[in-house]
Structure 1
Amino acid sequence: MDRLHNTVKTYAWGSATAIPGLLGTPPTGEPQAELWMGAHPAGPSRVDRGGGPLSLADAIAADPRGELGAATVDALGPRLPFLLKVLAADAPLSLQTHPDRERARAGYAEEEALGIPLDAPHRNYRDANHKPELVCALTPFEGLCGFRPVAEAAGVLEELGVGSLKPYADLLRARPEDAALREVVTAVLTAEPAAMAETVARAAEAADRLGGAFAPYAALARHYPGDPGVIAAMLLNPVRLEPGEALYLGAGVPHAYLRGLGVEIMANSDNVLRCGLTPKHVDVPELLRVVRFEATEPGLLRPVPAADGSGEEVYPTPAEDFRLARHVLAPGSAPRELPAGSAQILLCTDGRITLRAPGPGGADGTELALERGRSAFVPASEHVTASGPGTLFRATAGLA
């Protein structure tokens, strides 16, 4: 097993204190938005196996079957199929959605054929993979997820009492769900900018006056004045997670995280189609190909005991790329055996977790202590036990 040395991403929406607080390090003054644990080329973790720092991606590439396990390589290919993060939002992230695997492959091939550089600001597809994801709250966590029922969305727009929103509300009430949502989102995102900026300003004033459930939209407009994403956000379900609760997001589901600290796991991809609440590139035609225009209940999850009686708590999802589980280890409890056979990343979020791996033939093995915010990579063939007290998140591939 290897202690991971991880990359921190300093996006503008990040908290200056949450990740340093988790790691027990002094704040730098910069917003620290995401702590990445994995082998994504945009920020791979590093390990040291005696020869100095080595990218985890390179370590896996040298022996994919040994590091990941034969079943993972056969089903998902010779790279780590998931990316684990700690996400710390102090301001809203962009309103966005992710493609399914088929559209990601096609979109990536199209942009490669056009010669668009991978780091170009207007590039949509930076890899050929889909990006289902799950976020588990470490603190109270707020977001928006999936379209509301159209009658409810119409009611929200009507209650603001802004004349320029009335045509959108009328359309939501008059057309079938798919057509209504598609036409309203298209109209909002393609509206004349000055007119939409005025609509957003008036809607924000009304939301500020009404308060309560409308207060988040006034806050969005303060962060992104004039952005059509403020109106699009009103069509989505508001979500609040308490610590330990999670939210699963499949392909095509529009969403935005607003505030909070959480553990996030996703397929190993960086493909994002943005609807608004961002200064970054918004490709409306491509977005319309990807979004699922249907009302959905947010995919809220609570951990369930693993069927094997191991004490592990699992966040069940349909994703084959990843599986997230949690071990809450009480003081004095017996060490927990963590199943081998698939590569795993282990993250301590509370207390202090001690990992032990036996040596060959019963010889003394190795021991690794994880303090809060620290993580480790365990190859597929290695058997490890964990003891606390503390809380350990365990990320693996999601193969049955």
Structure 2
Amino acid sequence: MDRLTNTIRPYAWGSTTAIPTLLGVAPTGEPQAEMWMGAHPGAPSRLDRGTGETSLSDLIAADPEGELGAATVARFGPRLPFLFKVLAAGAPLSLQVHPDLAQAREGYEDEERRGVPTDAAHRNYKDPNHKPEMICALSPFDGFCGFRRPEEAADLLDGLGVDSLTPYADLLRAHPEDAALREVLTAVLTADREQMARTVTETAAAAERLGGPYAPYAALVHHFPGDPGVIAALLLNHFRLQPGEALFLGAGVPHAYIDGLGVELLANSDNVLRAGLTPKHVDVPELLRVVRFESGDPAVLRPEGDAEEVYETPIDEFRLSRFLLAPGGASRTLPADTAQILLCTAGAPRVGELELAPGESVFVPAGEKAELSGSGTVFRATVIV
């Protein structure tokens, strides 16, 4: 097993304090948004097996079956199928969705055929993979996820008392669920920008005055004045996770994180289609092709199991579980059939001979047994084969 050195991404929406507090280091004053653990080419973890530091991606490329296991390579190819992160939101992330596997392959092949540079600002598909993801809260964690039921969204809009929102509320009540949500989101994202900016300003003033369920939406305007994503977010459920609770986000589910610290586990992809709350490219036709216009309450996940608490999801590219190790408790030997990354978030647990502090992680290659002992909290990321 190998202790990992991980890259922290300084995205503008990141908290300036949450990741430094977890790591027990002084803040730099700059935003620290995500700590990446894994073999993504954008920021692979690094390790040293006695011959100098190398990237985990290079290590896997040199011996995929030895590092990942033959079953993992046979099913997912010669790369680590997941990316593990610590995510610290100090400001809202973009309102976004991710494609399913068929959409990602189709979109990627189309942009490749048209010669769109991979690093172009208007490129939608960086790779031909889907990006299901899970966020598990380490602190109270706020965001938006999935569509409200159309009548609930209409009532929320009407409650603001903003005349320019009335046509959207009327549309939500006039059509079947999926058609209503599609029509309103399309109308919001294609509206005249100056007119929409005025609507957003009026909406923000009303939301700040009313507070309560409108407070999360009012906060968006301070970061994105005039952005149609503010109105689009009113169509979505607001959620708050407590520590240990999680959400799984499948393809086509619109979402945006607002504030909080969590661990995120996702398929190894960077495909994002944005609907707003961002200065980045918004491709409305492609977004509407990918969004799933289904409403319902967010399904909050809680871990199940005894020694190893598992967060159950419907996909196999990743599997997230948690160990709460009590002082004086029995050690636990983990299965060795697949590669895994172990992350400490509290206490001073041991993985074999390695003692971990909060924020530290290790990579355990397939075939190597890992024994957990000591006390603290350890999250385990692996795959299902």
8 Å contact kept, 1:249–1:299: no
Matches within 5 A, 1:147-296: 147-296=147-296
The reply on whether 1:312 has 2:308 as its aligned counterpart is yes
Gaps of 5+ in 2: none
2:58 alignment partner in structure 1: 58
Conserved 8 A contact 1:7-1:45:
yes
Aligned residues: 385
Deviations 1:135-184 (A, max 9, x none): 00000000110000000000001111111110100000001111111110
Match of 1:352 in 2: 348
Tell me what 1:389 maps to: 375
Mapped partners of 2:331, 2:119: distance in 1: 45
Instruction: Give me the CA root mean square deviation.
Output: 0.8
Which residue identity does 2:78 align to in structure 1?
Answer: P
Give, in whole Å, the separation in 1 of the partners of 2:113 and 2:310. Answer: 41
1:292 maps to a residue whose letter is R
- Counterpart of 1:43 in 2: which secondary structure? coil
Helix, strand or coil for the counterpart of 1:32?
Answer: coil
Using the alignment, how far apart are the partners of 1:197 and 1:369 within structure 2? 53
Counterpart CA distance in 2 for 1:353 and 1:105 is: 41
Which contiguous aligned blocks of 4+ residues in structure 1 show a shift greater than 2 angstroms?
A: none
TM-score, structure 1 as length reference? 0.95
1:265 CA drift (Å): 0.2
For 1:174, the aligned partner's letter is A
Which digits, 9 at most, give the CA deviation of each residue in 1:348-390, with x for residues without a partner?
000011111xxxxxxxxxx111111000000011011011210
Does the CA-based 8 Å contact 1:6-1:36 persist in structure 2? yes
**Whole-Å Cα distance in 1 between the matches of residues 296 and 69 of structure 2?**
36
Identity score, percent: 69
CA–CA distance in structure 2, aligned partners of residues 296 and 43 of structure 1:
35
1:304 alignment partner, SS class: coil
Give SS of 1:27's match.
coil
Q: Could you tell me which residue of structure 2 aligns to residue 376 of structure 1?
A: 362
Aligned to 2:320: 324
Residue segments in structure 1 that go unaligned for 5+ positions in a row: 357-366
Distance 2:178 2:247 in 1: 23
Deviations 1:87-140 (A, max 9, x none): 000111000000000010111111112222212111111111100000000000
Query: Partners in 1 of 2:40 and 2:229 — Cα distance?
Result: 29
Q: CA deviation at 1:226?
A: 0.3
Equivalent residue of 2:348, what SS?
A: strand
Q: Distance in 2 between matches of 1:27 and 1:121?
A: 31
Q: State how far apart, in whole Å, the 1-side matches of 2:297 and 2:70 are.
A: 36
Shift of 1:299: 2.4
Give 1:361's aligned residue: none
Query: How do residues 137-148 of structure 1 correspond to structure 2 at under 5 angstroms?
Result: 137-148=137-148
1:45 correspondence with 2:45? yes
Kindly state the Cα deviation for residue 70 of structure 1 after the two structures are TM-superposed. Answer: 1.3
Does structure 2 conserve the Cα–Cα contact (< 8 Å) formed by 1:87 and 1:261?
yes
Give SS of 1:333's match: coil
Partner of 2:136: 136
- Once residues 3 and 135 of structure 2 are traced to their aligned partners in structure 1, the CA distance between those partners, rounded to angstroms, is 23
What code does the residue aligned with 1:165 have?
Answer: L
The answer to whether the Cα contact below 8 Å between 1:200 and 1:227 also exists between their aligned partners in 2 is: yes
Q: Which SS does the other structure have where 2:109 is aligned? A: helix
Q: Which amino acid aligns with 1:341?
A: D
Q: CA deviation at 1:296?
A: 2.6
**3-state SS, counterpart of residue 349 of structure 2:** strand
Cα distance between partner residues in 1 of 2:228 and 2:374: 48
The separation in 1 between residues aligned to 2:310 and 2:50, in whole angstroms, is 34
| In the alignment, structure 1 residue 340 sits paired with structure 2 residue 340 | no
How far the C-alpha of 1:25 sits from its partner, in A, is: 1.5
2:24, 2:332 → 1: CA distance? 26
For the 8 Å contact 1:134–1:249, the answer to whether it is kept is yes
Q: Which residue number corresponds to residue 398 of structure 1?
A: 384
SS in 2 for 1:5: coil
Contact 1:85–1:263 (Cα < 8 Å) also in 2: yes
TM-score by length of 2: 0.99
Give the CA deviation at 1:51.
Answer: 1.7
What is the rounded CA distance, in whole Å, between the counterparts of 2:30 and 2:108 in structure 1?
A: 33
SS in 1 for 2:380: strand
**In 2, Cα distance between equivalents of 1:71 and 1:148:** 40
- For 1:186, the aligned partner's letter is T
Residue identity in the other structure for 1:44: P
* AA aligned opposite 1:156: L
Higher mean C-alpha deviation, range 127-136 or range 290-299: 290-299
The code of the aligned residue for 1:49 comes to R
Question: 1:297 aligns to what SS in structure 2?
Answer: coil
Q: Distance in 2 between matches of 1:398 and 1:373?
A: 25
CA contact (8 A) 1:16 1:27 kept: yes
C-alpha distance in 1, partners of 2:157/2:175? 16
SS of equivalent residue, structure 1 residue 346: strand
